[in-house]
A = this chain, B = another copy of it.
Amino acid sequence: MTEKEWIDLLKKYLQENHAHIIKSKNEDCGVIKLSKKTYLLFTTDALVEGIHFDFKYTSFSDLGKKLAVTNLSDIAAMGGEPKWGLLTLGSPAPIEISWGIPFIKSLTSTLKKFNTYLIGGDTVKSPVFFVNLCLIGITNNPILRKGANPEQFIFVSKPLGGSAAFLKMIKTKSLKEIPKNLKDAYFKPKPEILLGKKLSKLNLATSMIDISDGLLLDLWRICEENEVGAEIYEEKIPIEKFATLEDALTGGEDYALLFTIKKENVEKLKKLSLNLNKKVFFIGKIIKEQKLYLIKNNTKKEIQPKGFNHFVNEKGKGE
């Protein structure tokens, strides 16, 4: 079956109608209500050698950072504060100091930047090298994918497509030949923890997701969850320098936040953006019709949600 079919099947076995469990389906994290005002966010992401990264151009230090960011970004996507993590490491050979230390240093120091601490894990032998991190976060006000309504504005939190452009270039170029901003987008993405937390605290975002599988696919996930559609304006989409529009629309691993807000809150968002010294980018609107449209000049063109599906397309990572 396809990944989507498997996830649909999984959902039948996920528990939602149970005390404490607020949300477990179609979200970046499982959401657990611990008390009147405290919610736990619970997320996990794995990276497998040859599928999600290639040691030819990825160092163990890069890998530690990437593993932290991919998980932190899921907590950010729900407006949470990441807190504690567990690492599973599978390795064919005994761990060597030469790579074990750079990996664990980079992982834990990236987590620490966001006041997040590794508190344990499991180390196993495995024919292929893989790492899995799970994180617990906390929030008073989880922002779900559910909540977007027609006429609401769509924003993204950073220029898109940098990782996708890097992955295209590395096929034919050496690391040295690739522009620094694309290497940074791929190796040093920044999880949007602070912005996510503020959007939750100020109750500004009506829905939110992190863009890990491409703008169109992740925007479509918001649309599906809310039974709505969206129109986005081509000239408004922020594109990383040296990346193409296609990279921005269908690439992945951007770790940007995509969120919707009510029209009357745009001014508050602008203030927040100024306060945080952090740009946010208006890219379009939610519409009633359950379709995606790309608008250029005055031409409106329907587009299909496309992005990574790792059982079809080798290059990226799954949900």
Residues of A whose CB lies within 8 Å of any CB of B are: 1-3, 6-7, 9-10, 13-15, 18, 20-21, 24-25, 27, 29-30, 32, 34, 40, 42-48, 50-52, 83-84, 86-88, 90, 94-97, 100-101, 104-105, 107-108, 117-128, 130, 132, 134, 136, 310-311, 314, 317-319
Contact = CB atoms under 8 A, between A and B. Distances in A.
25 contacts: A1-B96, A9-B100, A14-B117, A14-B120, A15-B118, A18-B117, A24-B117, A29-B120, A30-B84, A42-B120, A43-B86, A44-B86, A44-B87, A46-B88, A48-B125, A50-B127, A52-B124, A88-B88, A122-B132, A122-B319, A125-B310, A125-B311, A126-B128, A127-B128, A136-B136
A6 B88 contact: no
B95 A30 contact: no
Nearest to A52: B124
A7 B13 CA distance: 35
Q: Which of A7, A43, A105 has the most CB of B within 10 A?
A: A43
B46 A90 contact: yes
Contacts of A136: 32, 40, 42, 136
A51 B125 contact: yes
A126 B122 contact: no
A10 B29 CA distance: 26
Given A120-B30, A310-B124, A318-B123, A130 B90 contact: yes
User: How often does this chain occur in the complex, in copies?
Assistant: 2
B44 A10 contact: no
A44 B13 contact: no
Given A42-B84, A44-B134, A123 B7 contact: yes
Contact of A88 (B7, B120, B132): B132
Given A51-B125, A311-B94, A86 B134 contact: yes
A94 B48 contact: no
B104 A13 contact: yes
Contact of A1 (B95, B130, B314): B95
Given A14-B119, A88-B132, A46 B124 contact: yes
Contact of A104 (B3, B10, B21): B10
